[in-house]
Each structure stands twice: as C-alpha cells, then as structure tokens.
Amino acid sequence: MANLTSAFASLQCAGAMHVGKVHMQASGLPFLSFRRCAQLDISRLGSMPRFMGATSATVSQQHVRHRVRAIRASTLSCFQDDTTKFFDFVVIGSGVAGLRYALEVSKHGSVAIITKAEPHESNTNYAQGGVSAVLCPSDSVESHMKDTIVAGAYLCDEETVRIVCTEGPERVKELIAMGASFDHGEDGRLHLAREGGHSHNRIVHSADMTGREIERALLQAVDNDDNISLFGHHFAIDLLTCQKNGEIHCYGADSIDIETQKVVRFISKVTLLASGGAGHIYPTTTNPPVATGDGIAMSHRAQAVISNMEFVQFHPTALSDEGLPIKPTTKRENAFLITEAVRGDGGILYNQSMERFMPLYDDRAELAPRDVVARSIDDQLKKRGENYVLLDISHKPRDKVLAHFPNIAAECLRYGLDITRQPIPVVPAAHYMCGGVRAGLQGETNVKGLYVAGEVACTGLHGANRLASNSLLEALVFARRAVQPSIDHMVDADAGASLAARWARPTLPSPSALGGGALSDIVSRTRQTRTELQTVMWEYVGIVRSTGRLKQAEWKIGDLESEWEEFLFRRGWTPTMVGIEACEMRNLFCCAKLVVKSALARRESRGLHFTEDFPYLEESRRKPTVIFPAAVQELTWSSKPLQRQLQCK
C-alpha cells in the first residue's frame, strides 16, 4: 500500500548540473550518420484498428503527410529494429507541453514523440478559452499571481506562481513567432479576453478554438524538424526503470504500436511525460478519449511521488445534450465544452425557471472561480430536481457573439439551437486534474531522467483549483524550464542501450493463446467494468463528497478491480499481457484509487475538494496531499509495473 500523508514536498533534482555542455550525438549512437540505413514503409498508413476494440480511425490527408514525414525520420539507425528504438529524448504526449519541449531539445539530440492517437488528439486541441498572460500595461504579474492564489484557495506554491506569471508573456510571444495566430482588436493589438477569477483582461485567444490553433502551429514546426520523429498510434504501457545507488532511473518506455500489433520499446536517456489528465475516470468529461490517466498511473507504478489528486476540476458549463432542441443520435465520447469566456463576455446563468442564481452563492456571480460555479450549479440541480441549467449570451450583439464563439455557435446550431437568440443548456463535467506527478521548478521528478509537464504534472501552480486559462500557460512555461536540465542529464546519463534486453517484454494476446471467445469476452467485461468504475466515481467522488461516500467508493473500486482482474486471469490472461482497453482500465483504476485516497486524507473543504463532514477551511491543513512511493506496491495488476525494476550498478 502506498504511503499517503499530507506534507510539504520539496523535490530537488539530485543529479549534478553541468550548465553549458552541449552533446550532439544521439544516445551514443551516430543518429544522423545512419539515417541512410532506415527502411521506409508507408504501406501501413490508412485506417488503424484498435487492438481490443472494433473501432478504427481514418487519417486525413494532412495527417498522412505528417505521418509519412515522421516515419521517414523514425527508424533512426542500423542499431534499431521494429521493436526497439533508441533516442536521446522520448516525449510521451503530443499536446502543447510535449511539442514545445520536443522543439527545444531537438537542437541537442534525437527526439521521439509517442502519441496515443492522432498527433492533434490531445486536451490542448480542445482548449477553447486561451492562454492567460500579463500583456497589458494596466495588468501586472502581482495581480495575476493574486488571482491564481485566490482561485487556488491559497494552496498554490508561491514561487511556482511567480515563475509562471513572470515567464508566461515571453512564452506566448514565442508561440506568435512560431506562427500561432491570435485574435486582434480594431487597434491592431492582441484582443485580451477575461474569464472567471481574473481581475483583468489577459486571455490571449483565437476565437473559441485557441488550443486548436496552438496545436496546429506546434505540429507544423515539429513536421519541419528533421531531428524529431513522431510515432502516432503508439500507446505507452509502462516506464522502464532501474534502481541504482538507492535512486530510481528512467530509461524510456514500452508501447503498443496499434498499427502493427507489436510491442515497441523506446530506450532514451531522458523521458518527458506530457500525457495529459484522467478525465475518463468519470462518465462525463470534456476530455478526449485518450485522457485515461496513463502518465499518472505509469509514474505511480514507477514509484514517482504523486500529489493533490483530490482536486479534480469540474468545468461548470459543458453542453447538456438533454437540453438541446434536437438530441444527438449517438452518445458523445467527450462532452462539448462551453468555454469560460462565455461567462467572461457577459453570459448569465439561469435555472430552468429563468431565475438568475449565481449572485445567491457568490458576490462575483458568474465570474466566480470554477469550483464555486460548479458547486452552485450542482446545488441548483439537486434542489430543483433538474438535469441542466441555462447559460445565456443572447443579450449581446449577434455579430460579436458569432465572432467570439463561432465553434460553439456552429455546434449548437447543428442541434437546432441559436445561441444568439436562445440560452445554452449546460451541466458540470469532469475537466482537469490539478494534481498529478509531483514536479520541481524545472519539471523534474524524484525518478532520475523523468520529467513532467502539462496536466500530468503537479507543479504547485494550481493549488486546490486551477484559474481559468492557466493550464496552457503552465504547460508552456514548464516545458521550456525542463529543457536545460534535460540536456544536462542527457549528456551525463549512462546509456540505457545495455539494459534494453533485460526488461521482460510484454506480450499481446491472440485468440489462439486465450482460447475461443475469450478475447471478445474480456473486451466486453472490460468495457462494462469501465462504465461501473465511472459510475462509482460520479456518485461517490463527485463535486460534493463525504467521508462515508468516499469510503464506500474505496470499497466498491477495490471489489470491482479484484473481480475484473480475476475474470481476466481466469480466461487465460497473464500478468505480462497488454492491450489498449485492458491497459487503459488498469490506469483508470490506478488514478481513481489515487483520487479517493487523497480525498480521504484531506479533512477540510478547500477549492475543488468539498466534503460535507469538514465543510470549512482549516489553516493547519493548508498543505499539499502527497503520496510517497512505498517499498511494497499494492498487490493488484493495476498497481504493479509490467516489468520488474532492474538493479543497476
């Protein structure tokens, strides 16, 4: 059982820093010299079937071109084969954090980006609001810091907040220099929007599709960088670690190549996790299907420190399909987000009797931080027995509404709703993990060679509640801050090539190995289990909690996990077998348990964590919740790495 306590954790990078060293050779292998040995095989491009599901993804021409170029740069030397690849840097995730980091470290060595689906499929791509940064003379770093700390219920790490708010404007300017296009006002200056919790207009945006525009610009830059190889449809399974002199070292990760149905091992000196959050531990989330907590779970199994997992942010305004004039014919994989900027632009929340209710809960009304708005909506729904509330922006000029929110307007119009004339039905949905893998000020973790950035990381910026549009900002700042220590570590680290064959290889199941019908039964049971876990999390670990319900959740999740694993192994599954649905399920179980344990440990209500048993802030408990690695892992498949940790000299 992991050792869970509430404590301040100050993680310092223990490795010696050698600033100024530059090492251009790739992992001891002459990367550029051997590129002529690569064999390009593009016959596999097209539709990529999921291993344990019946779905497939058709690649657009644009992304096929991107993929062809990525493959051309992928098989890097004669020392590699289809199942083992060597790089200086491995990046897991293709959102803003992973791409921005890759573009910097590629100047110093070879980079592999492993991404679970299409390169653009990330939480970044779905971010509507924008990036918060101090870019107006009337604004200030101190004001941005204050807003962040107030929204974070005074649990934020002040040094982290100052760094992010200070360095943020430069990171935004870098995006613009790279070709990202943001909205400008009539005066030619950047148009800065305002969102809940902000005291100034400081949100840089591209209409209501900011994340998509940032992702486009970064992917284009990656596409033009010959030192970066992008491996789409590669699902990272577990980190490869060894213990040396009492410290854990990371040397890359194993993955499933969904196209070839092979386990591919990526060996690297430095690994950056930028794999996003775990929204799909809940049944309704704004996150894309890839957000199943893979990075957090892999890190926990690798004995990284985890922090603040109880703080799950529920976005107050996701589109409620139930309230649309025309109902969608199929269930969405992820809820459609109605950006915070709608309220920032003057949107008003009403219950279904068209009574404005936010002033009853908070003086800031619709501009209160997300945790306050989400709890207020939740309270209205429970008191009135309704399934959604209404967000109205129709009192604003039609042309401005359509100019600011074209994506939202188009999506609602598909279902018969004109947002310039009618209110939008909205409901809270799981949105963002404020907790994650504990990171130092340069993205370092307690595992040597492992860095984190973006939603997978817990840097201390968000505290108990993320301020709107601070997530893309944090990802940009920490992706950049992790670069120099990563380069230094790459120069000084031992090569992992000699260890590549020592970790046992995971295996992919086949119908012949499992027996007739077993594989389809496992798929069906796994999907059923996933739905049951999500239901437990929503009913017992939602917006409003209690100790009794949390303990029930702990018990129910434990039973559900045991029953699922017992079913798998009874049908012929083995501990070294891997498949997409099965690995996602073990990661969802791992993250759900981390959330519940952290929630039980916090005996107060702060930010996103509200419990009826301890409804007030307790100053003595104003400290992060930290889950330290334990010598003995939990005896479940979800909690143990597939590969035994090596002992290295």
Q: What 3 state SS string does 100-131 have?
A: HHHHHHCCCCCEEEECCCCCCCCHHHHCCCCE
Q: What per-residue confidence (pLDDT) applies to 515? A: 72
Q: Between 295 and 77, name the one with better pLDDT.
A: 295
**More confidently predicted of 537 and 29:** 537
Looking at the chain, the whole-number percentage of residues with pLDDT higher than 90 is 68
Per-residue confidence band for 594, with pLDDT thresholds at 50, 70 and 90: very high
Q: Which two tokens stand for residue 304?
A: 């990284």
Confidence band (pLDDT; 50, 70, 90) for 366? Answer: very high
In which band, very low, low, confident or very high, does the pLDDT at 3 lie, cut at 50, 70 and 90? very low
**Distance between CA atoms of residues 256 and 261, nearest Å:** 7
501, 73, 252, 597: CA torsion to nearest 10:
-140
Active site residue 370: yes
| pLDDT at residue 19 greater than cutoff 70 | no
How is the chain split into domains, by residue range? Answer: 315-429, 516-618
Identify the H or E element spanning 223: helix 210-223
Q: What is the mean pLDDT of residues 516-529?
A: 92
Q: Is the pLDDT of residue 34 over 80?
A: no
Task: Read off the pLDDT band of 80 (50, 70, 90).
Answer: low
3-state secondary structure of 499: helix
User: Residue 84 contacts by C-beta under 8 Å, 6 or more apart in sequence?
Assistant: 264, 265, 267, 500
Q: Check if the beta carbon of residue 63 is closer than 8 Å to that of residue 272.
A: no
> What is the band of 634 on the pLDDT scale with cuts at 50, 70, 90?
low
Mean pLDDT value of segment 487-511: 84
CA distance 87 to 76: 8
Give the span between the Cα atoms of 632 and 344, in whole angstroms.
48
Range of 32-36, 326-330, 642-646 with top mean pLDDT: 326-330
Split at pLDDT 50, 70, 90, the class of 646 is confident
On whether the CB atoms of residues 622 and 478 are closer than 8 A, the answer is no
Does residue 512 or residue 314 have the better pLDDT?
314
If phi > 0 it is left, if psi is from -120 to 50 it is alpha, else beta; for residue 449 that is left
Name the more confident of 499 and 310: 310
Q: If pLDDT is split at 50, 70 and 90, which confidence band does 15 have?
A: very low
Q: CATH code for 516-618? A: 1.20.58.100
SS (H, E, C) 508-524: CCCHHHHCCCHHHHHHH
DSSP single-letter state for residue 33: G
The β-bridge relationship of strands 84-92 and 111-114 is: parallel
Window from 17-21, 294-298, 363-367, 541-545 with minimum mean pLDDT: 17-21
CA distance linking residue 526 with residue 561, whole number of Å:
10
* Predicted confidence (pLDDT) per residue in 248-285, tens digit: 999 999 999 988 989 999 999 999 999 999 999 999 99
In terms of DSSP bridges, do strands 247-257 and 262-273 run parallel, antiparallel, or are they unpaired? antiparallel
Q: Counting beta carbons within 10 angstroms of the beta carbon of residue 607, is it exposed (0 to 12), middle (13 to 18) or buried (19 or more)?
A: buried
Of the given ranges (243-247, 332-336, 491-495, 607-611), which has the lowest mean pLDDT? 491-495
- What's the whole-model pTM score? 0.85
52 vs 541, higher pLDDT: 541
Residue 569 has pLDDT above 70, yes or no: yes
Mean confidence (pLDDT) of the chain: 85
Are 434 and 608 spatial neighbours (Cβ–Cβ below 8 Å)?
Answer: yes
Residue 156 pLDDT:
97
pLDDT average, residue stretch 185-209: 88
| Alpha-carbon Rg for the chain in angstroms | 24
Q: Identify which of 277, 289, 288, 233 has the alpha carbon closest to the alpha carbon of residue 256.
A: 233
- Cα dist from 370 to 284, 314, 375, 473, whole Å: 17, 8, 8, 17
Beta strands 234-244 and 646-647: pairing type?
parallel
CA distance 195 to 190: 16
Task: Give backbone dihedrals phi and psi of 518, rounded to 5 degrees, phi first.
Answer: -65, -40
Whether 282 and 511 have beta carbons less than 8 Å apart is answered as no
Residue 77 zone, left/alpha/beta (φ > 0; ψ -120 to 50; rest): beta
Say whether pLDDT at 68 is over 50.
Answer: no
Tell me the pLDDT band of 355, cut-offs 50, 70 and 90: very high
- Closest to 169 in 3D by CA, of 142, 141, 149, 145: 141
How far is residue 435's CA from residue 451's CA, in Å, rounded to a whole number? 15
- Cα angle 121-469-541, degrees, rounded to a multiple of 5: 75
CB 527 within 8 A of CB 52: no
Catalytic residue among 171, 370, 375, 481: 370
pLDDT band at 87 (very low <50, low <70, confident <90, very high): very high
**Among 76-85, 186-195, 243-252, 308-317, where is mean pLDDT lowest?**
76-85
Structure confidence at residue 370 (pLDDT): 85
Between 350 and 122, residue with greater pLDDT: 350
| 572 Rama sector, left if φ>0, alpha if ψ -120 to 50, beta otherwise | left
List the one residue out of 99, 101, 91 whose CA is nearest residue 123.
99
Q: What's the pLDDT at 129?
A: 65
Topology at the third CATH level for domain 315-429: Flavocytochrome C3; Chain A, domain 1 (3.90.700)
Query: Residue 612 pLDDT > 50, yes or no?
Result: yes
pLDDT value at position 639? 87
Which range is least confidently modeled, 37-46, 225-234, 297-306, 634-643? 37-46
Proportion of the chain in helix, strand, coil states, percent, rounded to 5? 35, 20, 45
Alpha helices in 305-416 (DSSP H): 340-344, 358-361, 370-384, 398-404, 406-413
Q: 437, 273 in Cβ contact below 8 A?
A: yes
Hey, what amino acid is at 169? P
pLDDT of residue 53: 34
Residue with the two structure tokens 């915070």: 340
DSSP 8-state symbol, 141: H
pLDDT for residue 67? 42
Question: What is the per-residue pLDDT for 29?
Answer: 28
Mean pLDDT calculated for residue range 233-256: 94
Q: Which two tokens stand for residue 283?
A: 């049944």
Put the strands of the sheet holding 131-132 in their side by side order.
Answer: 131-132, 203-204, 192-193
Tokens of 260: 């070839």
The DSSP letter of residue 580 is: H
Count the residues in the chain. Answer: 649
Residue type for 546, please? S
Q: Which two tokens stand for residue 133?
A: 């940064």
Position 598 pLDDT exceeds 90: yes
Name the percent of the chain lying above pLDDT 70. Answer: 85
